[in-house]
Amino acid sequence: MNKGTELIHNGHETDPLTGALGVTIYQTSTFLRKDISKGPGSQEFDYSRGGHPTRQALEEIIATLEGGAKGYAFGSGMAAISSVLGLLSAGDHVIAAEEVYGGSIFILNNFYKRMGIETTLVDSGNPANIRAAIRPNTRALYLETPSNPLLKITDLAACLAIAREAGLLSIVDNTFMTPYLQQPIKLGADIVVHSATKFLGGHSDVVLGLAVTRTEELGEKLHVVQNSFGAIPGPWDEWLVIRGIKTLKVRLETQQSSAQQIAEWLLTHKNVSNVYYPGLSGHPGREIHQGQASGPGAMLSFKTKTVEQALRFYEKVQLAAAAPSLGGVETIASRPVTMSNIATSAADRERLGITDTLIRLAIGLEGAEDLIADFDQALA
C-alpha cells in the first residue's frame, strides 16, 4: 500500500465501540478484573503500565508503518532507546555509529557502561569499520542515517547484513526519515526506534518515543522491559502522536521540497562555506541514500565562514526559532555545539567537523521563499 494511504488507513480509522472517526483517549490507569480468580494475563487490558487501548492503537499504527511485528510507545525518544538497550546484559559489547543522537551516546557511555555494557563508536560510513569492531562479546549494532547533525549516510543494507551474519541485535534510529521515507526493518533491522517528539508528532507539542521490532518474539521481550521499567507515555500524548501521523505525508513532502530549495540557495551564498543535505548532488553517499530512502528529508545543516556570522544568524533570523528539536510545523535553527552535541567532547567535535560555525535547520511549513528571504537578511 502507498505510504500516504497507510498513514490514514492502518486499522485505526474508527473506534470499534462507537464508530467515532479516530482513536479514543482512555484516561484510565486500571481496568476491571473480569475473573478475580485469574491473573492479569486472562484479559487484554488490566493495568495501564502493561497495556492500554490508546497506546495499543499507536503501537499498532507504528508497527504497520515500519513493517514490523510489534510496536511499543514510551514517554520520550530517550525512554524508548534506553528501554531497548535494556534488552542487553552486563558483559555485552555494543557497536554504535559515532554520529548517532548525542543522548544515545551519552546513555551508552555513562549509564550502560556503569552496568557493564561497553560501547565502541565507529564511523559507519564505511561498513568495514563495523566488521572490524566486532568482538566475541559483541551483541548489538546501533545506527542512525542520515546522521545528526552532518547528514552523513550509512549504507543500512550493508551494515545490517554484517550484523545479521555476526548474530547482533541491530537497532536503527529512524527519527529523521520516519517510516514515510525509510523503513529500516525492510532493510534488515531488528528494531527501529523513534523520537516521535519530532516529525511523527509534528507540532512541537508532545514528547514521546516509539520502538518497533521485526519479530513477535523480540516484541515480547521488549514488552517485558516496557512493563517493568514503566517508561510509558500518557493517553493524551499518545493521541497527539496518532493525530500527527495522519498529516505526516503533507508535512514532510512540503518541508522536504522547501529544504531542497533552501539547501540549493545556501550553496550559492557568499557567507556559507558548506551545506549538508542528502538532496544535493555532491552530498557524499547520496546514491546509497536514494537506494534506501524515498526522499532526502527536511533536515539540513550548513556552516558559515565565521563564528560571528553564525551567532548573528541566530540573533537576526525571524522565521526560525533558535531552539533544540526538529520536525515541527515551524522552522527550527539549532546550534549543535550547545544543543544536540553538548555531550560530545571538544576533540570529537573537531574530528567530526561539528564546529562553532555549524547551523542545523529543521525546515517547517512556512513558504520557502519567505524562509530564503529571512535567512538572506540574517546571513548578510
Ligand X SMILES: *Cc1c(COP(=O)(O)O)cnc(C)c1O
Which region among 1-9, 190-198, 270-278, 330-338 touches ligand X (by CB under 6 A)? 190-198
Binding residue (CB under 6 A) for ligand X from 46, 173, 237, 238? 173
φ/ψ (deg, to 5) at 191: -140, 135
Closest CA to 219 of 83, 100, 82: 83
Q: Would you count residue 145 as binding ligand X (CB under 6 A)?
A: no
Binding to ligand X by residue 335, rule CB under 6 A?
Answer: no
82 lines the binding site for ligand X (CB under 6 A): no
Query: Stretches 18-26, 191-199, 273-281, 302-310: which one binds ligand X (CB under 6 A)?
Result: 191-199
Of 180, 189, 228, nearest to 211 by C-alpha is: 189
Q: Is 209 in the site for ligand X (CB under 6 A)?
A: yes
Is 3 an annotated catalytic residue? Answer: no
Answer yes or no: 49 catalytic: yes
> Does 103 participate in binding ligand X (rule CB under 6 A)?
yes
Q: What is the DSSP string of 107-137?
A: HIIIIIHHTT-EEEEE-TTSHHHHHHH--TT
Beta bridge partners of 250: none
Return the number of the residue (200 or 272) whose C-beta is nearest ligand X: 200
Query: Binding of ligand X at residue 211 (CB under 6 A)?
Result: no
Q: Which helix (H) or strand (E) holds 191?
A: strand 191-195
191 binds ligand X (CB under 6 A): no
Annotated active-site residue 374? The verdict is no
Using the rule CB under 6 A, is 117 a contact of ligand X? no
Side chain identity, residue 371: L
Task: Take residue 188 and report the three cell numbers written for it.
Answer: 534488515
| Residue 101 is a catalytic residue | yes
Catalytic amino acids? Answer: 49, 101, 173, 198
User: Which positions lie near ligand X, rule CB under 6 A?
Assistant: 76-78, 101, 103, 144, 148, 173, 175-176, 195, 197-198, 207, 209
